[in-house]
Amino acid sequence: MRLPLLFVLLTGLALAHGRETIDFNPDWRFLKEDPAKAETPGFDDSAWERVSAPHTFNDTDTFDNWSLPGHRGEQDQWSGRTWYRKTFAAPAEWQGRKVFIEFEAVRQVAEVYLNGVKLGTAKGGFTPFGFDLTPHLRPGEPNVLAVMADNRFQRDPMDPALDPQAATNAKTHPNLAQLSKQLMEQIPETLEELQADQIPWNNPHWHPAHGGIYRNVRLIVTDPLHLTLPLYSFLQTEGPYAYATSISEKSAQIGIEVPVRNDRTGSADFQIGAEIIDADGRSVAAMQVRETLPAGGSRKFTLPAIVIPRPRLWEPAYPHLYRVVISLNVRNTNIDRVEIPLGIRQVRWETDGGLFLNGAHLKLRGWGQKPTNEWPGLGAALPDSLQFYTLQLMREAGGNFVRWGHVPGGPAQIAAADRLGLVTLQPGTDGEHDTKGGAWALRVANFRDVLIYYRNHPSILIWEGGNQKISREHAAELRALMDRYDPHGQRAYAHRRADAITAEFMDVGIGTEGGREIARLPVVEGEYNREESPRRVWDDFSPPNFGYPEAKGQTYQLTSEQFAVNQIGHYVKKLGAPEHAGGANWIFSDSTSGGRVAVEVARTSGEVDAVRLPKEAYYVTQAMFRDDPQVHIIGHWSYPAGTRKSVYVVANTDTVELLLNGRSLGSGKRSDRFLFTFPEVAFEPGEIKAVASSGGKVLATATKLTAGPATALRLSLVRHTGGLVADGADVALVDVEAVDAEGRRVPTFQQRVDFDVSGPVTWRGGYNSGKTDSINHRHLDLEAGINRVALRAGREPGEVTVTARAAGLQSGHIRFRLNAYAGAPPALPTVSLPATAPARLILAATAATAARTDATRLGRFIRTLNYTGPNASIVHVETHARDGRNAYVNTDSPFAGLPVALQDADWVQVDNRDALYSAVDLIELSVATDATVWIAHDEALPRPAWLTRQFEPTDTVLRVLERPMRLFRRNVTAAASLTLGSNTEDPRQTEGNLYLVFVGQTPP
C-alpha cells in the first residue's frame, strides 16, 4: 500500500548542536481494532481516527455503569488490542545523531515498531520506557512508528444468571483473597509469556483499565556522545542522579553522578559541567571536570562534591526547588544538556514521634489517589495541566501528602508534588498480594525503573514495595534495588499490611484505618476513612432527595452531611496521636475502581467528585488541615419551611458562635477537636453565620444565605482563561450553575440542562453520579445546583462558544479562544514561594530513617502470629486497643466501652468474613512478655472445645457489631505460644462474629 499523503514534519529545530526534546503527542492515527500487518510501513491508515496523546480509547467508556459491589470496579469496559500509527519525516540533519523515543506510559501492554521492526514489548502499564530509534530510522525519509496497545484485563468470574448488582457472597463471587489465589495459578513462569490479562495490577479492583497512549510521548535527539536517559528497560541506562548530604541550615553538600555514553566512532575528550540554580534563577554553584571515554564506552562519573552555603530547604510550607543543569561540552561547544530537580531536605523518622523534616515535626495530612486520576469523558488521558489541577486542589485544602495507590504516580503528578509541596509515597506496581513467575519479574523490573526515573524528585520520601506483605526473598530483592539505585535519597522503604518477615527490610510501616502492624517502626497512614457518599445528596432535609433512600441496604448509606461530619472523627481518632506521622485519607476524587455502593457509577469516597467539584467533606478537611484560621458551615441554608435540624460547623479555633439573621444561637458543643454542633435549629430564610474565635478574638467567619427560585444558568471557565491550545489533547472545564435573581447558586436545584457547542473542540461533557449512561451526551443534570463539563481541544485554532439551556431558566453562554499549537504542551501555572522560608534548626547528622533491626516482635506483647484463614493476607497485629479503633480488618467495627484491662492491649485484627471457616490452627501466636491473653467470643455461637479447655470465662461482655461477645482469659509467661482453633465447631451455624484475641498486661 502507498504511504499516507499526510505525515508529520519536524521543522524549526536547531539541529546543529545540543539535545532536542520534541513533543510527539499530536497527530497519531488510531484504530480500535487489530488488523493484520498494522505494524508495516505500507499499511494504509488514512481512514483511521486522528488523535493526540494523552489518549485513551476508554474515555467515553467509563463512569457509565453502576459500581459493582464487592470492590469489583468497572468490569463492563471495552478491552482488546488496538493500534496507533504515526508517519513522520526525520530531517536529514539527524544522520549521525542518536534518536530516542520516551513513552511516559501505555496501558497495559505496548508493542512498539519502527518501520516494521519490532523494538520491544512494554508490559508495566504505569512506568516510563523508551527505545533507541537510531538503528532503524531513515533520516530524510518518511518513517512509520506503530504501537499496539492492549488493555485486556483480569475480569472477575460472575454468574451470568445473577444480577451483576447483587450483593456478593462466597457462592456468587469469591472474595479478593480467594480470587487472587485463583489468578495466581494462571501466571506463567516467564515475563515473555505473561499476557495483559494476567498482570495482577491490571485489574479494575485497583485501577480502571483505560487503555492507550494515555501519557506523554517525546522524541529526544542527541549527539552520539550523550548523557544517558533514566529509562532502564530496553535501554539499560540510568540518567543523572543528584542528592544532598551533610544537611544543616548552614550548608549542604551536593553529590552528582553523571552517566555518559560515547557512541562516536572514536575516543572522545569532553567536559562535564554542573551548575545549580535556585528558584529565582540565580546560580549558586558551578563546576566542570575533564573526562575521556573510548568509542563504544559508557561510564558513571561521580563529580566532586559541591557545598551550598545557607541552602534554601524544600518542605511543604516552602517547596523550594533548585535546578541542576548538567552539560557535556567538546572543545567549548555544548553537545548535550539536561536539567534535573534538586530539593534539599533532611528527613528523620521516629517510632514515637513520627516524621521530622528539616528538624521540625511534620504531621502528614492528605489523600490516597489512583494514578489513573480518571475523569468522566476523559478517562485516564489527562493533559499535564489537569494532573496539576487535581494536586493543586489537595494543596488548597491544606494537604501536604499524597499516597499513590497502588502503582506509581506519573511524571506530571510527581513534578506537581515537587512544586506544590506534597510529600509523596511512591509505589512500584502492585495489586494487593505477592505474586510469582513472570508477574514477579515484571514487578521487580517496574520497581527498578521507578526508582531510576523518579529518584531526583524531592517530594518522594517513601518508596512503597507493595500494598501487602511479601516473602522474605521478594522483600530482600526490592530493598536491594532501593539501596542500589537510591542510596542517598533519604527515603524510607515500606509496605502496607506488613508482617514481621517483610518488616525486616522496612524503615516505616504503612497503616490502614489507623492501624499499626509493626510496633517498633514509625507508621504513616495509607488508607483511612474509606466510606462513600455522593455529592448530590445533601442531607435528610433537602429536596429533591430528602436523604439517600436509594442506598438502603448498601454498604454505605451516608448523606453528604454525614460523610462530611464523619471526616472529623476518622482523622482525630485514627491519626490524632502525637506519635503518629499522619497520612492518607482514601481517596481524593471519586473513582471507578473498587466501590461498594451499587446505586452509584463510581466509588464515592472522594472529597471531590469525579469532575473535581468539592463535596462538603472537602471543606471539612480544609478546616482541619490548614494552619490559617478556618471555619465552614456544613451544608446550605435553603430548606423547606418548618425544617428543624442540627447545624454542624467545623473550625480550627477554640469556639464557634452561630448567628441566625443577626440573633445569636450561642456557642456550639465542641467534639473531636474540630466539630461544633448546634442541635435543632429552626430554619428561617435569610443569613446563617458562624463566628470562629480563639482567646476571645474573632479569627474567621463563614456565611450561608437562603437562595430564591432558580431563574438563570451561569457558565464560567474553570481554567485556561487565555484559551486552550490546539494540540488535540488540551482540555477546558466549564461550570454550569443554576442561580437565583440575585446571582446566588440554588443548592437544591437538580434538573436537566442541554448544551450547544460550536468551535474546533470535541465535546466530552460530564456525568451524573447516580445515573448510568450519562457520559458524553449534550445534556446532564445539575447536582446540588452545579455540574461541570469538559471539552477536548481540536487541532485548529478558533473561537469556542458554549450555551446551556434548561426549562424555565434564562440560558447561559460563554466564549473562549482556542490558540494555535506552537510545538509544545501548554505551560503549567506558576507556583510562588512564600516571601520568607521557615526558620529551621537541624540537629547533628542522624540516620535518614529509623534503623532497621533484627527484632521480629509484632506488637508490644505479641511476638509472632500465624493465621490460616482465607483472608490471611490482611490479618495482622494491632497495638493500643481503645474505643473507636476497628475490631475487624474488613469492616467498620469500632470498639465502644472497652474494659480497662483491654485498653492499650495488642489485638489480632482478623477478617470477620472468616467467622465460619474451620481450622484446628486458625491462629498461632507467641507472646514476648508475661501477659494475659483474652478471647472475646460471640455469645450466640457454641463455645468450641479449645476455648473452654484453655481459657476461663469472665462476667464481662463486649458488644461488637451489635453482637454480645463474652470475654475469656488466661495468664501466660514470656515466650509462651498458643494454638487457637475454629470459631465454631458446629457446621450448622450460618452467622456470627469471629472471635477476637487480645494480649495485654496482666491486671494486678
Share of the chain above pLDDT 70, in %: 94
Is residue 269 scored above 90 in pLDDT? Answer: yes
The secondary structure of 645-693 as a DSSP string is EEEEEEESSSEEEEEETTEEEEEPEEETTTEEEEEEEEP-SSEEEEEEE
For 636-663, write each residue's pLDDT tens digit: 999 999 999 999 999 999 999 999 999 9
DSSP type of residue 551: G
Dihedral of CA atoms 376, 378, 379, 380 in degrees, nearest 10, equals -130
Is residue 171 scored above 60 in pLDDT? Answer: no
* Mean pLDDT across 823-843: 89
Cα–Cα nearest to 937, from 961, 957, 920, 913? 957
Contact call for residues 561 and 667 (beta carbons, < 8 A) = no
Contact call for residues 105 and 214 (beta carbons, < 8 A) = yes
- Alpha-carbon distance 364 to 367, whole Å? 10
Confidence band of 684 (pLDDT split at 50, 70, 90): very high
The dihedral sign for the CA sequence 662, 666, 667, 669: negative
Please report the pLDDT score of residue 331 as a whole number: 94
- Alpha-carbon distance 952 to 933, whole Å? 11
For 60-119, write each residue's pLDDT tens digit: 999 999 888 777 888 888 999 999 999 999 999 999 999 999 999 999 999 999 999 999
**Across all residues in the chain, what is the average pLDDT?**
92
Is residue 852 scored above 60 in pLDDT? Answer: no
Q: Which domains can be identified in the chain, with CATH numbers? A: 386-625 (3.20.20.80), 712-819 (2.60.40.10), 862-1000 (no CATH)
Show the cell assigned to 743: 446571582
Please report the pLDDT score of residue 42 as a whole number: 95
pTM recorded for the entire structure: 0.89
Confidence band of 181 (pLDDT split at 50, 70, 90): confident
Please report the pLDDT score of residue 668 as a whole number: 97
Please give the biggest Cα pair distance in the chain.
91
Is residue 302 scored above 50 in pLDDT? Answer: yes
Please report the pLDDT score of residue 15 as a whole number: 39
Please report the pLDDT score of residue 76 as a whole number: 85
Contact call for residues 194 and 438 (beta carbons, < 8 A) = yes
Please report the pLDDT score of residue 856 as a whole number: 52
Cα–Cα nearest to 311, from 357, 249, 356, 242? 249
Helices 411-420 and 384-396, packing angle to 10 deg: 40
Q: What number of helices (H) and strands (E) belong to the chain?
A: 9, 59
- Alpha-carbon distance 66 to 771, whole Å? 8
For 711-756, write each residue's pLDDT tens digit: 999 999 997 545 689 999 999 999 999 999 999 999 999 999 999 9
How many C-beta atoms lie closer than 10 Å to residue 163's C-beta?
Answer: 10
Catalytic residues: 527
Cα–Cα nearest to 516, from 504, 502, 498, 533? 498
* Mean pLDDT across 899-912: 94
Cα–Cα nearest to 489, from 271, 321, 241? 241
DSSP type of residue 92: G
Residues present in the chain in total: 1004
Is residue 292 scored above 80 in pLDDT? Answer: yes
* Mean pLDDT across 855-875: 78
Please report the pLDDT score of residue 556 as a whole number: 85
Distances (CA, A) of 200 to 194, 431, 442: 11, 6, 10
